[in-house]
Structure 1
Amino acid sequence: MNTIEYLKGDATRPASEGNAIIAHICNDIGGWGKGFVMAISGKWKEPEAAYRKWFKSKEHFSLGEIQMVQVEEGLWICNMIGQHKTISKSGGKPPIRYEAVEQCLEKLAAEALQRNASVHMPRIGCGLAGGKWEEIEPIIGRTLLNHQLKVFVYDFK
């Protein structure tokens, strides 16, 4: 079975050859403006615009769903709805929803296999979503690694 490759660096700059998908967690209330999404928006406008359009449409916009947005040749952003509300709107309870993250990553695995792509991410769900890496890491193992995908996790320098 593959293992996660941990790197120091910027998750918006995939450190591998070939097709790549950058995955990150979004909330289920249409909010975009804090955390890792700011790094994404600093490089590409399409992921935020697509997410906001998706939210407005309400079409399959719910926990456990993903949206693939191509930003360059061979590079996609995967908007994954794995967070219920935001920390400021959740009454102090961490907004991460591990079951939704697992559903998202299973769908992402299918997309990565179809595109012959590696998967790149920060420590998803562990920032503003309030999740714990010791919960997220095994989910990555059951989903992405179980499909023999190459997974890179970045810790920003």
Structure 2
Amino acid sequence: MVLHLYMFCCSCVDDSGTWGHGGMFDALARLSSQIPKAYERASEFGDLRLGDLHLLEITGEDEENKDGNDNLWVALAVVQTYNPRRKVPRSSISIPELEQCLSKASFSAAQKSASIHMPRIGHQNGSDRSEWYSVERLIRKYAALYGIKIYVYYFRRSS
């Protein structure tokens, strides 16, 4: 009997179509060069709308990543808008759209008996803890609703 363990790696993106640098962006690009390409392609086809969830299967087809990632999926949640004319071009995370994306990711993960792994969302510099608590409630809600495990990873930047 072969046991397949599936894992979904979930990250937030904006609707700009421009792949970022640093943090999760670099980690995902190292995982597979197809992730940034798929995100940019989605933008070219006008398919980056708030509330969209883009599921990408990591198949190990990348030469540099042939290490058995056959059961890994990446979920890109479009939960921010981008407008270069604003002083702060990227909007805050939209909680209603994040909820849509978490619902879609949780449903898909439950279909594959997968767990979801994600960075802590909505807690930038400690100034607005209420946003993180809203996100945390959503995570608990969808983990319970679909009977899946959702793991949140914390990363503290050095000062």
| Aligned partners of 1:85 and 1:95 also within 8 Å | no
What does residue 63 of structure 2 align with?
A: none
How far 1:89 sits from its partner (Å)?
Answer: 5.4
TM-score, length-scaled by structure 2: 0.76
What does residue 146 of structure 1 align with?
A: 145
Asked whether 1:33 is paired with 2:20, we answer yes
In structure 2, relative to structure 1, the CA distance for the partners of 1:126 and 1:44 (3 Å cut) is farther
In structure 2, relative to structure 1, the CA distance for the partners of 1:148 and 1:31 (3 Å cut) is same
What does residue 136 of structure 2 align with?
A: 137
Looking at structure 1, the residues matched to 70 and 155 of structure 2 have their Cα atoms a distance apart, in angstroms, of: 24
What does residue 61 of structure 2 align with?
A: none
Q: Which has the higher contact order (CA 8 A, sep 6+)?
A: 1
Sequence identity (%): 26
Q: Secondary structure of 1:63's match?
A: coil
Please say which structure displays the higher CA radius of gyration. Answer: 2
Residues 68-111 of structure 1: CA deviation (Å, up to 9, x unaligned)? 1111211000011011227x754448421111100000111111
Residues 133-155 of structure 1: CA deviation (Å, up to 9, x unaligned)? 11210111222332111111112
Tell me which stretches of 4 or more aligned residues in structure 1 moved more than 6 Å. none
| Aligned partners of 1:24 and 1:79 also within 8 Å | yes
Structure 1 counterpart of 2:98, from 97, 101, 107:
101
> How many corresponding residue pairs?
138
Q: Secondary structure of 1:21's match?
A: strand
| Aligned partners of 2:99 and 2:138 also within 8 Å | yes
Structure 2: gaps of 5 or more residues: 59-68
TM-score, length-scaled by structure 1: 0.77
What does residue 79 of structure 1 align with?
A: 76
Asked whether 1:23 is paired with 2:10, we answer yes
Looking at structure 2, the residues matched to 126 and 56 of structure 1 have their Cα atoms a distance apart, in angstroms, of: 30
Looking at structure 1, the residues matched to 95 and 15 of structure 2 have their Cα atoms a distance apart, in angstroms, of: 14
